[in-house]
Amino acid sequence: MSDKAYLKGAAAISAGGIVSKLLGAFYRIPLLSLLGSRGMGVYQMVYPLYCMLLTLSASGLPTGIARAMSSGQCTFAERPAFWLCGFMGAAGWLIMSVLAPVLAAAQGEAEVALCCKILAPSVFLVSLISVVRGCFQGRGYMLPTAVTEVFEQLVKVLCGIALCMLRPSPASAVLAVTLSEVCCLALALAMYRSAGGSKVPLGYRPSRYYPCILKNTAPLALSAMAQPLSQLAESVVVVALLRAASQDATALWGVFSGCAVTLISLPASAAYGLAAAAVPRVARVARAGGRGDAELARSRVTKSLLFTLALALPSAIALFAFSPFAVSVIFSSLSGGERLLVVRLVKAMCLSAVAMPLVQTSSACLAALGRAGLGAVTQWSTCLVRVALSAAAVTALSSVTGAAISANICNLVAVALNLCYIYGVRGDKNAHNSHRFGNKRRRYDAVG
């Protein structure tokens, strides 16, 4: 894949991510007005458990399947992936429904239980959507991912506003999410069918592909699971600590996670296309096995990271400079004090606006190089530290700003660890091993 083709594919997904996130950001304007900061806090409290289960059944699927297909390991992985991930998604649906009362009791908000049960079917639906996206990405087609993301967000926005106008409650907002996933799955399957679906060879045996799918997706799922678990722990620990300093800790958590983090995540959403497009681009070279191929793969990783930095750094500067204006427009329904808090949090987290896209791209590149396990080590170690740091900082400052400081530190450490894995001693050792393996394979082919 040439630089031009790579950037074209990345631009397609990035454009979809930008439009999707902008729709989501502006969706907060009527949503905050209809639900208030407390209702937004309840709405955000549901997502950690949802994201955790979604990670087990869906996260890592697009990247993992794309890597498996583009590297030639399991070209015809679509049907087994549908069955495997559909089963896992259904299990996630059941688990989320069962754990809903437990989460509500832990967070001290009764409404969370109903919201979890309404949102639970989305775990199954997103699992299937992720398989379709991964199949397209593995073939080098990035546009379907962008189209389905924008369509999904658009349906969520329209349904969410309509339902919350009829009945202003967090339950109405999460119902809109489930409805959007139903519509998105229908569109994704229609696009997959129109593209010809999966053309399997004679003697096709789906069972032989399950180990390959798990090998490529399990480390990515394990890596991605760290973040929602840390968010779940933060939503319990930080809110409990804030209750000692504020009468409405739920509203403060809603301002932090539902407003500030939404803006800070925009650069990562814009750069997602660079990470997704890097996987087949790097994997096709990395599978060759020679030292020259390893160096070329690393060169492509470097270009992907530089492209990501070129996008993330100006975005972070813009967020710092124009955050008062953005907050006044997007979150106009907040009180004056809450808007000032959002601006302060966004400015405090601008380092994360640069670090998060770099973590995203470097983790995808590690997966493409066949080292997704190292990305999992990074995510778990930094996320575990983040919960402890957040608790310490919130206690010391008696403010939710402590969670923002903790996020900065952990995201920067995650970038440093991933770069060490890619360029450090381990990378050289792996390149040497790949060279030896490539020589052995070529000698075997010559004898054969």
Tens-digit pLDDT profile for residues 341-362: 999 999 999 999 999 999 988 8
Mean pLDDT of 159-163: 92
Q: When comparing pLDDT for 160 and 44, which is higher?
A: 160
pLDDT of 179 > 80? The answer is yes
pLDDT of 150 > 70? The answer is yes
d(CA 181, CA 259): 23
Place of tokens 């206690």: 395
Q: Which of 181, 187, 183, 180 is nearest to 159 (CA)?
A: 180
Averaged confidence pLDDT in the chain: 78
pLDDT at 313: 92
pLDDT of 120 > 50? The answer is yes
pLDDT of 233 > 50? The answer is yes
Which segment of 62-71, 276-285, 380-389, 390-399 scores lowest on mean pLDDT?
A: 62-71
Q: When comparing pLDDT for 189 and 17, which is higher?
A: 189
Place of tokens 């053309």: 199
Q: Please, which pLDDT band fits residue 262 given cuts at 50, 70 and 90? A: confident
Q: How many CB atoms lie within 10 A of CB 291?
A: 14
d(CA 335, CA 68): 49
| For the chain, domain boundaries | 3-196+207-443
d(CA 347, CA 119): 32
Q: Determine contact, residues 250/42, Cβ cutoff 8 Å.
A: yes
pLDDT of 391 > 60? The answer is yes
For the residues of 205-226, what is the DSSP string, one character each? -GGGGHHHHHHHHHHHHHHHHH
Q: Determine contact, residues 1/274, Cβ cutoff 8 Å.
A: no
Quote the percentage of the chain above a pLDDT of 70: 77
Q: When comparing pLDDT for 223 and 425, which is higher?
A: 223
Residue 391 phi/psi, 5° resolution? -60, -45
Q: When comparing pLDDT for 166 and 225, which is higher?
A: 166
Q: When comparing pLDDT for 2 and 91, which is higher?
A: 91
Cα Rg for the chain, rounded, in angstroms?
22
d(CA 63, CA 376): 14
Q: Please, which pLDDT band fits residue 250 given cuts at 50, 70 and 90? A: confident
Mean pLDDT of 195-207: 55
Amino acid at site 42: V
pLDDT at 316: 92
Distance of CA 180 to CAs 128, 129, 154, 160, 237, Å?
A: 14, 12, 8, 9, 31
pLDDT of 199 > 60? The answer is no
Mean pLDDT of 43-56: 75
d(CA 65, CA 333): 42
pLDDT at 151: 92
Distance of CA 41 to CAs 254, 255, 257, 259, Å?
A: 4, 7, 8, 10
Mean pLDDT of 226-231: 76
pLDDT at 107: 72
* Model pTM score: 0.65
User: Which run of H or E residues covers position 246?
Assistant: none
Q: Which of 63, 54, 61, 20 is nearest to 268 (CA)?
A: 20
Tokens found for residue 287:
């599978």
pLDDT at 159: 93
State whether the Cα torsion 1-128-144-199 is positive or negative: positive
**247 by DSSP, 3-state: which?**
coil
pLDDT of 155 > 90? The answer is yes
Q: Where are the alpha helices (DSSP H) in 58-166?
A: 61-70, 78-107, 111-119, 121-138, 143-166
Q: Which residues contact 151 (CB under 8 A, 6 or more apart)?
A: 183, 184, 187
pLDDT of 332 > 50? The answer is yes
pLDDT of 147 > 50? The answer is yes
pLDDT at 369: 81
